Amino acid sequence: MDGFSKSIGGGGPNVPAGSHPAGGSQAAAGGGATQRTQYPYVTGTSVIALKYKDGVIMACDTGASYGSTLRYKSVERIKAVGKHSIIGASGEYSDFQEILRYLDELTLSDHMWDDGNSLGPKEIHSYLTRVMYNRRNKFDPLWNSLVIGGVKKGPKGDEKYLGMVNMIGTHFEENHVATGFGNHLAIPILRAEWHEDMTFEEAVKLVEKCLLVLLYRDRSSINKFQIAKITTEGSTIYPPYSLKTYWGFTHFENPAQGAVGSW
């Protein structure tokens, strides 16, 4: 959804507001000014996540684009929420920061009850779904696709949870999710190779395979990734690292082979 919206609008912030057919305009009805979000400015690309034996693993790159410019290269797009969950976001980064603020307020007031209970990933997902859907209905969406993963003790023991919610309020729960370009490039790989109770090493390998495809094919991704995991012991967000890429294909060696020009 995020990748397409940019192409419909004709690219990021460089498009003047007047030539934008799909978006609304600043409507000042009488005395009350209403806002309509037209397009995102600083955006993060895909997030992928999957359930494995001990919990949930989530990964994304650390880049944030400003239209077609890869403006910020050390952005953390996965954060811990409370004791039991991690959240990853693609789309408008400032909206993600605002969502983190809402979650902070939510977890604080939950913490202050001090009743031995704490919000789990299912509750956080439910809350965020309401927030996203209500904003969408006001035509002022938080321009994100959010991935929420976590583990919490339930009636059947430790229950793993992985869900997604996007800017129009569509939400679901699955064994593996991806946002943005990940929907098209990573999901097919995950569908073929995911299985129940993968070990951490297997999960990382699968995630890296998807990240590599996204790195080759998604122009807004960069070669700097962060993997995060959430288990009953808590959340861990690993330091950023790069993947090895291969560009030694024969076709790259003589790119003009099929179309020799005069210069």
Partner 1 sequence: MSSIGTGYDLSVTTFSPDGRVFQVEYATKAVDNSGTVVGIKCKDGIVLGVEKLVTSKMMLEGSNRRIHSVHRHSGLAVAGLAADGRQIVSRTKSEAASYEKVYGEAISVKELADRVASYVHLCTLYWWLRPFGCGVILGGYDRDGPQLYMIEPSGVSYKYFGAALGKGRQAAKTEIEKLKLSELTCREGIVEVAKIIYGVHDEAKDKAFELELSWICDESNRQHQKVPNELLEQAKAAAQAALEEMDAD
Binding site for partner 1 (CB under 8 A): 105, 108-109, 111-112, 114
Amino acid letter, 14: N
Rounded Cα gap, residues 52 and 194, in angstroms: 9
Residue 112 Cβ vs partner 1, minimum distance, rounded to whole Å: 4
Q: Is 37 a catalytic residue?
A: yes
Q: Which residue is it, tokens 């020009």?
A: 261
Q: Which is nearer to partner 1, 111 or 219 (CB)?
A: 111
Rounded Cα gap, residues 255 and 63, in angstroms: 29
Residue 24 Cβ vs partner 1, minimum distance, rounded to whole Å: 28
The token pair at 3 is: 């990748």
* Burial tier of 12 (Cβ tally within 10 Å: 0-12, 13-18, 19+): middle
Under a CB-based contact definition with an 8 Å cutoff, are residues 222 and 63 in contact? yes
Residue 82 Cβ vs partner 1, minimum distance, rounded to whole Å: 13
Residue 103 Cβ vs partner 1, minimum distance, rounded to whole Å: 13
The token pair at 206 is: 């699968």
* Burial tier of 157 (Cβ tally within 10 Å: 0-12, 13-18, 19+): exposed
Q: Which is nearer to partner 1, 114 or 196 (CB)?
A: 114
The token pair at 215 is: 């790195």
Rounded Cα gap, residues 29 and 35, in angstroms: 11
Number of neighbouring beta carbons within 10 Å of residue 166 = 24
Q: Which of 34, 37, 45, 199 is catalytic?
A: 37
Residue 97 Cβ vs partner 1, minimum distance, rounded to whole Å: 11
Residues annotated as catalytic (active site), given as ranges: 37
